[in-house]
Amino acid sequence: MSDVNVMKPMPHTETGAGVYNEKLGIWVFLGSEIMFFTALIGSYIILRVGNPGAWPAVGPREVLNIPITAGNTFLLICSSVSMVKAFAAIAAGDQRGLRLWLIVTVVMGASFVGVQAYEYSQLVHHGFVPSGGIFPSTFYTMTGFHGFHVTVGVICMVFVTWKAFRGKYTAQDYRGVEVIGLYWHFVDLVWIILFTIVYLI
């Protein structure tokens, strides 16, 4: 019954880039995300160059808590490694490894958001509020959008973990794990840039 088969999507439909559709889709999306964060980072650089007096003379570390954020950066880097470990596990057909590393990644991602929320509460407590000028305003915009991305990533990863526990991924088909992994590493990559630009410089 060939006309019945026509209705089913091809399991390994390849695009011109030589990858499956979901992977091409996430890369195109990440391309648009590069431009999104460029708009934020670019605006920040321009505003800072144009208003040198609006930032503390020694740099943002006069106001921002560098040690706690450095710890948070380390946490996000570790979560990227656990994500890639989950990917390597399922590529080798290791269901137990996949579930374990996904849970580790979810916990570390959620902890990152928790630490950021704590950081915000401390900053607000010390009078560093979004309406307090161009420095706090750009700070909350950039770190807030990044935190939102991490939160979305954690929610998606909970869904992938739930599917992993139901045995939906195999060594032959682990597209969902790879796609959430690409998004997750991208969010880590953006934080690496933001940490340098917003906190250290």
Contact status: 180 vs another protein (CB under 8 A): no
Do the Cβ atoms of 170 and 93 come closer than 8 Å?
yes
Map residues 16-55 to x or -, x wherever contact with another protein holds by CB under 8 A: xxxx---xx--xx-xxx-xx--xx-xxx-xx--xx-----
Contact status: 163 vs another protein (CB under 8 A): no
* Minimum CB–partner distance for residue 102 and another protein (Å): 15
Q: Give the dihedral of Cα atoms 36, 39, 44, 47; nearest 10 deg.
A: -160
- Name the residue type at position 100: L
Q: Using the minimum distance from each CB to another protein, give the nearer residue, 40 or 123.
A: 40
Dihedrals φ, ψ of 182, to 5°? Answer: -60, -45
Q: Using the minimum distance from each CB to another protein, give the nearer residue, 88 or 134.
A: 88
Residue 28 CB contacts under 8 Å (≥ 6 apart), including other chains? none
Token reading at 178: 């790879």
Q: Which stretch binds another protein (CB under 8 A): 81-89, 120-128, 136-144, 145-153?
A: 81-89
Q: Which stretch binds another protein (CB under 8 A): 69-77, 118-126, 129-137, 144-152?
A: 69-77
Bridge partners for 20 per DSSP: 14
Contact status: 85 vs another protein (CB under 8 A): yes
* Minimum CB–partner distance for residue 192 and another protein (Å): 5
Q: Using the minimum distance from each CB to another protein, give the nearer residue, 18 or 127.
A: 18
Bridge partners for 14 per DSSP: 20
Smallest CA-to-CA distance from 178 within 84, 92, 102, 110 is with 84
Could you give the angle at which helices 95-125 and 66-91 cross, rounded to 10 degrees? 160
Task: Report how far residue 190's alpha carbon sits from residue 198's, in angstroms, rounded to the nearest whole number.
Answer: 12
Do the Cβ atoms of 186 and 199 come closer than 8 Å?
no
Binding site for another protein (CB under 8 A): 16-19, 23-24, 27-28, 30-32, 34-35, 38-39, 41-43, 45-46, 49-50, 59, 61, 66-67, 70, 73-74, 77-78, 80-81, 83-85, 88, 91, 172-174, 178, 181-182, 185-186, 188-189, 192-193, 195-197, 200-201
